[in-house]
Amino acid sequence: MDKESLAAVASAIVASGKGILAADESTPTMGKRLALIDQENTEVNRRDFRQALFDTESMEHFISGVILFEETLEQKSEEGIRLSKILESKGVYPGIKVDKGAHPMDSSSSEKITKGLDGLYERCVDFYKLGARFAKWRAVITIGEGIPTDECIQANASALAKYAKICQDANLVPIVEPEVLMDGNHTIEICYEVSEKTLRTTFNELEKEGVYLPGILLKPNMVISGKECSVQADMNKVAQMTVKCLMASVPEEVPGIVFLSGGQSETEATEHLNAMNAMGEYPWKLSFSYGRALQQSALHSWGGNNANLATTYAVFYHRAEMNSKACHGEYSPELEI
């Protein structure tokens, strides 16, 4: 483990005003995204849309890293250039999703455990050789009747910690992503309680495994009302409760917290991040690692047709710029086009 380079990469990813594009949808998930624009889930469609994002001129002013699915790490453009090289040429770190998905737990079938530890070290070594400098593993915690169970939180935290240690041994910065889902009719208070418990358990496990905290990034959900909750907390409450939860559970050595968007709209995700950064200074950088909240409008602009590339670039650039402003607490809805 090269601690110095792990810490340097983690800090560079959350350098001032920069964040991550999560473009690591698995092939079936990408199929769902392409279905929204009536396009087939072909390798060419997956490549062309992702290449449009990566080709966007000056996106590197706002995007420091892109999380890729395995297919994309080795995929080539029509001109025969590896997509990850396009990122590297702009000084953007390629990252790689290394988990093998969330599967129903044996002991509690409405809950999920993320798998993928088998052969992980060898895979990480190969990914490093292919240019990846960071990795991602997503654990999923569901709120519902009688869940999450302690077993689910514990098992996912333990797997996240083992993954993080293996990544660091292979010199990849691990993004530790314990996602408490927005699905459900729970209140923001319940989300707070579950998120704090999940984060505390995760950091306990990271410590037990001997994970080097300056060489990780945390990717949590925001503390937010369940999607079907009849009372939706407003922007300030989301920002205040999210910060309170992180202050109570995330050690200061962690260089950055990069939120997932988790089903929030593009502007909600930007507004919430902005509100937190406008509220004060924190021991860690607060930035973004958005999937849907960075890609949705760009996907619709592209529409499966490369004749629309110019508008696709403009729309993606704008979304990335808005989130960069949110990292400084300088976003305002009036800046939307």
Q: Candidates 96, 293, 315, 320: give the one binding ligand 13P (CB under 6 A).
A: 293
Candidates 102-110, 181-189, 227-235, 255-263; binding stretch for ligand 13P (CB under 6 A): 255-263
Interaction pattern, residues 149-188, with ligand 13P; x per rule: CB under 6 A: ----------------------------x-----------
Q: Candidates 62, 290, 302, 313: give the one binding ligand 13P (CB under 6 A).
A: 290
Answer yes or no whether residue 285 interacts with ligand 13P by CB under 6 A: no
The residue whose two tokens read 């993606």 is 316
Q: How far is the CB of 289 from ligand 13P (least distance, A)?
A: 6
Pick the closer one to ligand 13P by CB: 292 or 319. Answer: 292
Q: Is 209 assigned a catalytic role?
A: no
Q: Candidates 13, 113, 155, 260: give the one binding ligand 13P (CB under 6 A).
A: 260
Q: Taking the C-alpha atoms of 158, 64, 85 and 43 in order, what is their torsion angle to the nearest 10 degrees?
A: 60
Quick one: residue 280, left, alpha or beta (phi over 0 = left, psi -120 to 50 = alpha)?
left
26-55 burial: b if 16+ Cβ within 10 Å, else e: eeeebbebbeeeebeeeeebbbbbbbbbbb
Give the residue among 275, 189, 281, 286 at the shortest CA–CA distance from 239: 275
Catalytic position from the list 177, 205, 266, 271: 177
**Interstrand relation of 112-114 and 102-104 (parallel, antiparallel or unpaired):** antiparallel
Q: How far is the CB of 139 from ligand 13P (least distance, A)?
A: 10
Answer yes or no whether residue 95 interacts with ligand 13P by CB under 6 A: no
Q: How far is the CB of 228 from ligand 13P (least distance, A)?
A: 18
| Footprint (CB under 6 A) of ligand 13P, residues 16-45 | 22
Q: Candidates 45, 261, 287, 323: give the one binding ligand 13P (CB under 6 A).
A: 261
Cα-Cα end-to-end distance for the chain = 45
The residue nearest ligand 13P at its CB is 291
Candidates 55-63, 110-118, 290-298, 319-327; binding stretch for ligand 13P (CB under 6 A): 290-298
Q: Is 115 assigned a catalytic role?
A: no
Give the distance, in angstroms, between the CA of residue 273 and the centroid of all CA atoms in the same chain. 14
**Interstrand relation of 134-141 and 112-114 (parallel, antiparallel or unpaired):** unpaired
Pick the closer one to ligand 13P by CB: 226 or 262. Answer: 262
Q: How far is the CB of 146 from ligand 13P (least distance, A)?
A: 25
CB 167, CB 208: distance < 8 Å: no
Q: How far is the CB of 284 from ligand 13P (least distance, A)?
A: 19
CB 276, CB 242: distance < 8 Å: yes
Strands (E), the chain: 19-23, 63-68, 93-97, 102-104, 112-114, 134-141, 173-180, 217-218, 256-259, 285-290
Q: Candidates 18, 46, 112, 138: give the one binding ligand 13P (CB under 6 A).
A: 138
User: What DSSP state is assigned to residue 142?
Assistant: -
Alpha helices in 222-291 (DSSP H): 235-249, 266-279
Q: How far is the CB of 64 from ligand 13P (least distance, A)?
A: 15
Candidates 9-17, 98-106, 198-206, 259-267; binding stretch for ligand 13P (CB under 6 A): 259-267
Q: Is the dihedral of CA 32, 18, 271, 233 positive or negative?
A: positive
One-letter amino acid of 131: G
Answer yes or no whether residue 292 interacts with ligand 13P by CB under 6 A: yes
Catalytic position from the list 18, 112, 136, 219: 219
Catalytic residue numbers read 177, 219
Residues of this chain that interact with ligand 13P (CB under 6 A) are: 22, 138, 177, 260-262, 290-293
